[in-house]
């Protein structure tokens, strides 16, 4: 199956934002601005849905969807079932990424 027609044109330099256009250089303040805008957008059903990814000690990647429950300068809080596979994996790791 050829999927090459699905590619979308990336924005040119003239359409990209500059650092001086950010609300703040503080990543949590900037996130807050983007999150507030996302919650006001009717096309976004769950602005607090996020993907977290990690790797086991032997390097096996794992990603899962969770719901963001809050954030502060200390980090992001999300909900997961501690008794699920993803919950037990999170207990055994030190780092994860989110998007």
Q: What is the pLDDT of residues 71-91, one digit of tens each?
A: 999 999 998 887 887 777 788
Percent of the chain residues topping a pLDDT of 90: 43
Quick one: which of 80, 83, 79 has its CA closest to 70? 79
Q: Which two tokens stand for residue 19?
A: 């650092």
Q: What is the pLDDT of residues 55-71, one digit of tens each?
A: 877 888 889 899 999 99
Strand order in the sheet with 75-79: 75-79, 61-72, 49-55, 97-98
Q: What is the pLDDT of residues 14-32, one digit of tens each?
A: 777 788 889 999 999 999 9
Show the CA angle centred on residue 51, arms to residues 54 and 29, nearest 5°: 105
């Amino acid at each position: 199956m050829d999927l090459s027609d699905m590619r979308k044109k990336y924005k040119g330099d003239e359409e990209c934002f500059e650092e001086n256009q950010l609300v703040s250089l503080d990543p949590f303040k900037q996130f807050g601005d983007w999150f507030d805008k996302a919650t006001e957008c009717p096309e976004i059903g769950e602005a607090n849905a996020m993907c977290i990814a990690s790797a086991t000690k032997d390097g096996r990647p794992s990603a899962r969807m969770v719901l963001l429950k809050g954030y502060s300068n200390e980090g992001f809080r999300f909900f997961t079932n501690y008794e699920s596979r993803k919950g037990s994996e999170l207990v055994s790791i030190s780092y994860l990424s989110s998007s």
